[in-house]
Structure 1
Amino acid sequence: MARKQNDDLLIEDELAAAFLNDDSMDLAEPVATPQAAATTPAPAANDTNTAWDDQEEDFPGQLAVDVYETDENLIIKARTAGVNKEDLDVSISDGILTISGTLSSGDDTTVSRWHIQECYWGEFSRTLALPVAVKEDEVSAVLKDGVLTISFAKVKQEQAKKIAIQ
């Protein structure tokens, strides 16, 4: 399932975002809200004219990260539960870190009708500029219990030197 452009908005903002960000939406069609979804029957499997199919665009999922530093290191943590390390790609160039990969739901070729699909499956990517200078060749990346932890050694910033005025 492709990710919608406004998936990262809060649920309360989805209705407003649908009107503000999606020019292709037919305003005559009802907008599915989480409250309405509980009472609205799912469309038939062969119904190809659903509102969400028309709005769906191909956007890679965005990976959520935590970035913090200790005295010696810059740490980036990303929740990657269900992703095999073979399906992850981590790279850095000039202080720009990129984490990308694919989250596979398994074999769903036999699915004839979805009732609820809230999980994101497919490609994801996150690129971020590191907030401090790091030694790009002194890095470790560990995938444990569904959390990717990347640790860079920080570049030591020289202390300001006092200049005597004569």
Structure 2
Amino acid sequence: MTLVRRDPFRELSHLRHEMDRLFDYVRHPAKAVEGIGMEVLGPRVDVYQTEREVVVTAEIPGIEAKDDVEITVSEDNLLLKGEVKRGGEIRQENFYRTERYYGSFSRAIALPAEIEADQATASYKNGILEVRMPKAAHQKRKTVKVDIQNKNI
């Protein structure tokens, strides 16, 4: 009878390796990480805010029709769902290398401020989707400087 040594932490080690690969992609998206594409992470986005609005831009090249992307906005969340279709009649077995992603994607983005969802607008140009969302009225606060009242300073 042969005894096989079992490492109970092997699966945890494998999981850690996969998580490291995922976070490497997030930290360094220009670095090639095999096996991680838009189907896992969704399109890459930038989120910023001004005094009056929250803006999200997303890289989604290959969108040809409005129906290819569904944009859903709530007070604190933006959901992008869609499909990038491969153009032409190229059969899969004819590819030597394929790095661009085709297929379905979904990405939920937490917003940094509450917004007026019914006033959101979107535009698409050169592979970039831009969603502009005005901040809710109670979010438009001014900044006030507060003086320290301690006499020891």
Answer yes or no: is the 8 Å Cα contact 2:70–2:80 preserved in 1.
Answer: yes
- Tell me which residue corresponds to 1:86: 67
- Compute the displacement of 1:128 (Å): 1.4
- Tell me which residue corresponds to 1:115: 96
Q: What do you get for the CA RMSD once the two structures are aligned? A: 3.4
Segments of structure 2 that go 5 or more residues without pairing to the other structure are 1-17, 145-153
Q: TM-score, normalised by structure 1?
A: 0.57
- The DSSP-based 3-state class of the residue aligned with 1:112 is helix
- Alpha-carbon separation, structure 2, partners of 1:60 and 1:107: 25
- Alpha-carbon separation, structure 1, partners of 2:126 and 2:31: 32
Q: State whether structure 2 residue 117 is matched by structure 1 residue 136.
A: yes
- Alpha-carbon separation, structure 2, partners of 1:101 and 1:79: 12
- Alpha-carbon separation, structure 1, partners of 2:97 and 2:86: 14
Answer yes or no: is the 8 Å Cα contact 1:61–1:120 preserved in 2.
Answer: no
Identical aligned residues as a percent: 26
Answer yes or no: is the 8 Å Cα contact 2:53–2:134 preserved in 1.
Answer: yes
Q: Deviations over 1:13-69 (max 9, x none)?
A: 95xxxxxxxxxxxxxxxxxx8xxxxxxxxxxxxxxxxxxxxx89xx45511110001
Q: TM-score, normalised by structure 2?
A: 0.62
Answer yes or no: is the 8 Å Cα contact 1:61–1:122 preserved in 2.
Answer: no
- Alpha-carbon separation, structure 1, partners of 2:84 and 2:71: 15
- Compute the displacement of 1:118 (Å): 1.1
Q: Deviations over 1:72-114 (max 9, x none)?
A: 1110001122112220000023422100111111244634332
Query: Which of residues 55, 60, 78 is equivalent to 1:75?
Result: 55
- The total of aligned residue pairs comes to 118
Segments of structure 1 that go 5 or more residues without pairing to the other structure are 15-32, 34-54, 162-166
Change (3 A) 1:104 1:60: farther
Higher share of residues assigned helix: 2
- Alpha-carbon separation, structure 2, partners of 1:12 and 1:81: 19
